[in-house]
Structure 1
Amino acid sequence: MTLIVRSEAPTTDRSVVWLEGRLDAATFTAFDEAMRDITPLVDNGGTLVIDLSALDYISSAGLRSLAQLRKGLHDRGGRTLLVNPQPQVKKVFDIVKAVPVAEVFATIDELDQYLDHMQRQMTGSG
């Protein structure tokens, strides 16, 4: 599956981006490239809203891209808000927030296998 990134005509104080599909090792580069075009349009101190309602899956590569995006905007005095995550995606955020994953999983592959298994269970596809 692919990733579709849509955005509204941004204003200098706020822009909204919608993600659809999977944000994983195969799609994070496309996400990063799309964000490189969008984030400069949000002024320092502005807000980027990322709507996750159509995002079906996220891996550690996707988490890393979101973290880098948030840091970049934070460094410019801005903020990134993630809204409307599907239950399986929200579960990944909960796991990452609650557990120091670097201390629990020996490798990124092991982490991604766990996240894949957990998301499949929540969606009933595995």
Structure 2
Amino acid sequence: MTLSLSTESESPDRTTLHLHGRLDAQTFGEFDLAALDLLPRVADGGTVVLDLSALDYISSAGLRSIAKIRKSMRARGGHTLLLNPQPQVQKVFEIVKAVPVNEVFASARELDAYLDHMQRQITGDSIED
């Protein structure tokens, strides 16, 4: 599955980026490019909303991309809000919040394998998907 993105600018102070599909090692570059285009259009002190309702999967690469957006918006006095994550994506955020993953996993590949396993448990997908 791929990633598709769409934006909705409610005002110069608030823009929503809708994510559909997978945010992983194959698609994070596309997401990062979209963010590079989007962020300068949000006013300083504004808010970027990431609508995750149609995001089926996120890997450590996707987490890093979201962290970059959050860092960029904080540097400009703004905010990044995550909206409607699906249960399997929410689980990833809970894992990352509860455990400092850079201290627990030996590599990004090991972390991604764990996140993949956790998300598949929630969605019921088999490994062959």
Per the normalisation by structure 1, the TM-score is 0.97
Deviation at 1:103, TM superposition (A): 1.6
Is 1:59 aligned to residue 26 of structure 2? Answer: no
Which AA in structure 1 matches 2:17?
V
Give the secondary structure class of the aligned counterpart of 1:117: helix
On the 8 A contact 1:11/1:41 being kept in 2, the answer is: no
Q: Which runs of 5+ in 1 are unaligned?
A: none
2:74 — aligned with what? Answer: 74
- The count of corresponding residues between Structure 1 and Structure 2 is 126
Rounded Cα–Cα distance in structure 1 between residues aligned with 2:58 and 2:25: 9
Give the secondary structure class of the aligned counterpart of 1:40: helix
On the 8 A contact 1:10/1:42 being kept in 2, the answer is: no
Which AA in structure 2 matches 1:11?
S
Which AA in structure 2 matches 1:111?
L
- What is the percentage of aligned positions where both structures have the same residue? 64
1:97 — aligned with what? Answer: 97
RMSD: 0.8
| Runs of 4+ that moved beyond 4 A | none
Which AA in structure 2 matches 1:25?
A
1:75-116 CA distance string (max 9 Å, x none):
001100001000000000000000011121111100000000
